[in-house]
Amino acid sequence: MATLGNPQNTIAILNKYNFTFQKKFGQNFLIDTHVLNKIIASAHISKEDFVLEIGPGIGTMTQYLCEAAREVTAVEIDKNLIPILEQDTLSEYDNVTVINQDILKLDLNQLVMERNDGKPIKVVANLPYYITTPIIMALFEKGIPIENITVMVQKEVAQRMQAGPGSKEYGALSLAVQYYAEPYIVANVPANCFMPRPTVGSAVIQLKRHTTPCVIVKDEKLMFQLIRASFNQRRKTLLNGLNNSAELSFSKEEILAAFEKAGISPTTRGEALTLEEFAKLANSF
Ligand code: SAM
């Protein structure tokens, strides 16, 4: 079994199996031990933990996870990688299960129930960048028991997740993520830590799931509709943004009444409102 995490051993495995990278699957494999160690350390994995890895690739980070965790399940969409993982890079670990599936199609609640008695899991991944947001939102919105998510994402996406009101990165993604979790950027990662090198910058971000909701919202769906409407037309005032939204069907009078009840000026822009204020506004309709 090859120990991965450096360019030589990664190239050796790729050559041995005549593997060709598939751009459509966002394949950029990690080849830097410092970055791998940093991800594992920041995820605070112990021998008690069940870890879900999304997109193991040739199993580089999976090897680190198997060493640190009690049990690992790695979900990989590319069938060409499965023999490499099962017969080679993970063959000596008895605490790993590889599932050849699209992560967005897997019933993760059932998986957590079966493999971890429904108790909170840790998610660790060098994510395929083309579906970062759908993966993260699915993990949160489906109510999967999660303690924390430690993932490599595109640098700009990490900045948007962590951004607060008033900054240009602040938007619907910041609010959606911060509603469920506390984000913390662990490290920026340069392109030369991957093979092939991505054309964008990368960062590791940790999302620590709130144990109690940070805001109380009567109608979550409405709050997120208000958030989307406010940021879809970024340069408009909130009143115009909400009034012109295809997703909402409130009259101008109803919108003005809700603003008054929430104590928010209708001429404010969405980018100035905190999550608490969006919650208050949603509760005022
Ligand atoms: N973890 C490996 C590493 O760090 O070297 C590979 C990371 S690579 C950025 C992303 C991985 O996710 C690839 O192996 C890719 O095939 C896989 N992938 C892409 N889309 C996926 C999906 N929908 N479900 C599961 N895996 C996916």
What is the interface pTM, i.e. ipTM, of the complex? 0.99
My answer on whether 150 and 128 are in the same domain is yes
In a domain, 2, yes or no: no
Question: Which among 54, 61, 127, 154 is the best mutation to test ligand 1's pocket, defined by most ligand atoms within 8 Å of the CB?
Answer: 54
Question: Across the chain, which distance is largest between two alpha carbons, in Å?
Answer: 68
Domain-ending residue, one of 209, 233, 250? 209
My answer on whether 141 and 258 are in the same domain is no
Tell how far the Cα of 41 is from the centroid of ligand 1, in angstroms. Answer: 21
My answer on whether 264 and 123 are in the same domain is no
Residue 254 is part of which domain span? 220-284
In the β-sheet with 96-100, what is the strand arrangement from edge to edge? 96-100, 71-76, 50-54, 121-126, 146-154, 202-209, 181-189
In a domain, 242, yes or no: yes
In a domain, 171, yes or no: yes
How far apart are alpha carbons 173 and 179 in whole angstroms?
10
Domain-ending residue, one of 209, 238, 253? 209
More confident position, 13 or 3: 13
| Residue of minimum CA distance from atom 17 in ligand 1 | 55
Residue 249 clears pLDDT 80, i.e. is over it? yes
Plot region of 209 (φ>0 → left; ψ -120 to 50 → alpha; else → beta) = beta
Range name among 226-240, 243-257, 265-279 with the lowest pLDDT average? 226-240
Write out pLDDT tens, residues 92-130: 999 999 999 999 999 999 999 999 999 999 999 999 999
Average pLDDT over residues 251-259: 95
In a domain, 215, yes or no: no
Looking at every residue in the chain, the average pLDDT score rounds to 95
Average pLDDT over residues 232-250: 88
How far apart are alpha carbons 59 and 215 in whole angstroms?
39
CATH number of the domain bearing residue 181: 3.40.50.150
My answer on whether 164 and 260 are in the same domain is no
Give 248's pLDDT tier (boundaries 50, 70, 90). Answer: very high
My answer on whether 194 and 234 are in the same domain is no
Q: What letter represents residue 278's amino acid?
A: F
How far apart are alpha carbons 246 and 231 in whole angstroms?
13
My answer on whether 179 and 44 are in the same domain is yes
270 is an annotated ligand-binding site residue:
no
In a domain, 130, yes or no: yes
Write out pLDDT tens, residues 136-193: 999 999 999 999 999 999 999 999 999 999 999 999 999 999 999 999 999 999 999 9
My answer on whether 113 and 195 are in the same domain is yes
My answer on whether 266 and 238 are in the same domain is yes
Q: Give the number of domains in the chain.
A: 2
- pTM, 2 dp: 0.95
My answer on whether 258 and 153 are in the same domain is no
The answer to whether residues 122 and 144 touch, using CB atoms and an 8 Å cutoff, is no
253 is an annotated ligand-binding site residue:
no
Buried-state track 70-96, b at ≥16 Cβ within 10 A, e below 16: ebbbbbbbbeebeebbeebbbeebebb
The answer to whether residues 40 and 65 touch, using CB atoms and an 8 Å cutoff, is yes
My answer on whether 191 and 252 are in the same domain is no
